[in-house]
Amino acid sequence: VQNNGLLEGIRNRRVPALAKAISLVENGRDGYEALLSALHPHVGRAHRIGITGPPGAGKSTLAEQLTRAYRALDLTVAVIAVDPTSPFSGGALLGDRIRMSSVALDSGVYIRSMAARGALGGLATSTREVCDVLDAFGFDRIIIETVGVGQSELKIAANADTSVLVLVPESGDGIQVLKAGVMEIADIFIVNKADRTGAEALMQEVDVMLGLRQGDARTHVAPHHAPSLLGSQTESPPSHVESVVWVPRILGTVAVRGEGVPELIEALQDHYSHLQASGELHTRRRERLERHTRDVVDRTLSTLVWQEGDGERILADGMDGVVKGVTSPYRLAQDIVAGVRRGGFSDEQ
């Protein structure tokens, strides 16, 4: 019942209701799925931007600069910093967040960090749900920043509409390591700290890799490479050209000085326009919703077994027998599953 108040609060853009709703969702407290279910019809307006890349690449600085640029365009921005390796979450800001202090007091900006602990059914699922709350609240842009480029980060980044991969000249050989997975999901490549030695070489390297990727999966189209992009937009394609195939952009930035940020804003807008015009936005979102439904089913079953049900007790009681060989993992698993069946399912949703 008190969650009805939350629903109204969010629809009326009240920040305290937003903070409460996010905590409710993040901690999986009573009624969180009912709230998300009620918010669902209001989700789908925000452009979700994932920023991923190795530690030290300048992702936080870039997120801050993007936020400032969007605010100058009068767009509201939510930033979620996701750290799959950290047990800390919720209201507590990550160390890096402090750097975002220039925008932290702006009422058109909401900053939140999330961590693995307490994420029911996985951090990717949980992050998707917090984004849904922010989307229903009415934020124009949602920036999802992950700390690294591991499997968990990739799963999170794959839920954005647009994925940005940030590299730095120092990562150098690192790109070889990143190849699998990360390269595939990125729509825009940033070479940050583009004023340093090796930036040009790194851009070339990404360029070659993208050429290979394109040659592989699609017709071969050379990516739009803007080698001396800082301050120059002459090599960017005109934004009214809507091609069916998105040609990944490679941009140079110096995030600490805000250089290259207008070009990034433009590339993000171009990608979003492309997603809309090509119908891919609809496809990506439908896939995201299907993935989410599957994840919710798995989480519901897991909760029924291990939290609401007797699963943990039956497991603990049965392990001695399994170790001694008196019973088997399979018979014990059957007992646990049968226990859920006897306990029945709750149909309150």
Which residues of the shown chain bind its own copies in the complex (CB under 8 A)? 33-34, 36-38, 40-44, 150-151, 173-174, 177, 180, 282, 285-286, 289-290, 292-294, 296-298, 300-302, 304-305, 311, 315, 318-319, 322-323, 325, 328-334, 336-338, 340-341, 344-345, 347, 349
Q: Least distance in Å: CB of 176 to its own copies?
A: 9
Q: Under a CB-based contact definition with an 8 Å cutoff, are residues 320 and 311 in contact?
A: no
How many whole angstroms separate alpha carbon 242 and alpha carbon 225?
18
**Torsion sign (Cα): 122, 118, 59, 173:** negative
Judged by beta carbon, residue 204 or residue 328, the one nearer its own copies is 328
CB of 152 to its own copies, least distance (A): 9
Which CB atom, from 13 or from 294, has the smaller least distance to its own copies? 294
Nearer to its own copies, 155 or 274 (CB): 155
| CA–CA separation, 34 and 162 (whole Å) | 28
> Nearer to its own copies by C-beta: 257 or 294?
294
Kindly compute the dihedral angle of the four CA atoms of residues 187, 193, 195, 201, in this order, to the nearest 10 degrees. Answer: -50
Enter the tokens of residue 165: 């991969």
Q: Closest separation between CB of residue 327 and its own copies, Å?
A: 8
How many angstroms separate the Cα of 322 from the Cα of each of 230, 267, 319, 328, 330? 65, 58, 5, 5, 9
Beta-bridge partners for 164: 51, 188
CB closer to its own copies out of 93 and 337: 337
Return d(Cα 198, Cα 101) in angstroms, integer. 31
